[in-house]
Amino acid sequence: MTKVGSKKILIVSLIILLVALLVLRQIKSYKSNDSLRKMGRLVNDATIISVNKRAGRASTLDVKYSYKIQTQTCESESEIDGIYFQDFKKEFITKSFPVIYLPDRPNRSEILITPDRFVRFGVDFPDSLKWVRDFWKKDYKRFD
């Protein structure tokens, strides 16, 4: 086999491996979200600790938050789509939001802020969060 042929095989193999890893990640994410949808419990007073903007994505944020389950304080992080970083820092950072978590793994949770996240986890969007719609860019909503 030639040197060029070996390089092509290596590149194709790496691409196949990368695609397989991405598919497995999506399956794991779906199963995790499905578990939250079926067995999750709600707590309504998550406090936002920090927010970071994703590089190259103007309205995708990584939101770190904490919440209490009985006497245990838990921390987790969720990806929020459709709210601009500056709007989030100005309007959201001091507010409380619901969190859905797994009772047997309390740190496995998702914060519920945007309407699409409530739909994703089968939770009714509360009237108290209707103001969020003014900041949410619907063209970013995803239903993974």
Residue 24 lies in a domain: no
What is the model's pLDDT at position 24? 54
Residue 29 within any structural domain of the chain = no
Residue 116 class from Cβ within 10 Å (0-12 exposed, 13-18 middle, 19+ buried)? buried
The pair phi, psi for residue 23, each rounded to 5°, is -65, -45
Which residues span the domain enclosing 79? 40-140
Question: What share of the chain has pLDDT > 70, as a percent?
Answer: 81
Q: Which of 130, 95, 135, 89 is nearest to 111 (CA)?
A: 95
Number of H helices and number of E strands within the chain? Answer: 3, 5
Residue 16 maps to a domain: no
Q: Would you say residue 1 lies in a domain? A: no
Number of structural domains found in the chain: 1
The mean per-residue pLDDT over the stretch 26-49 comes to 75
Residue-averaged pLDDT of the chain: 83
Does 87 map to a domain? yes
Q: How confident is the model at residue 6 (pLDDT cuts 50, 70, 90)?
A: confident
- Quick check: is 22 in a domain? no
Residue 30 lies in a domain: no
Region 39-46: mean pLDDT is: 88
Q: Is residue 50 part of a domain?
A: yes
Confirm whether pTM is higher than 0.85.
no
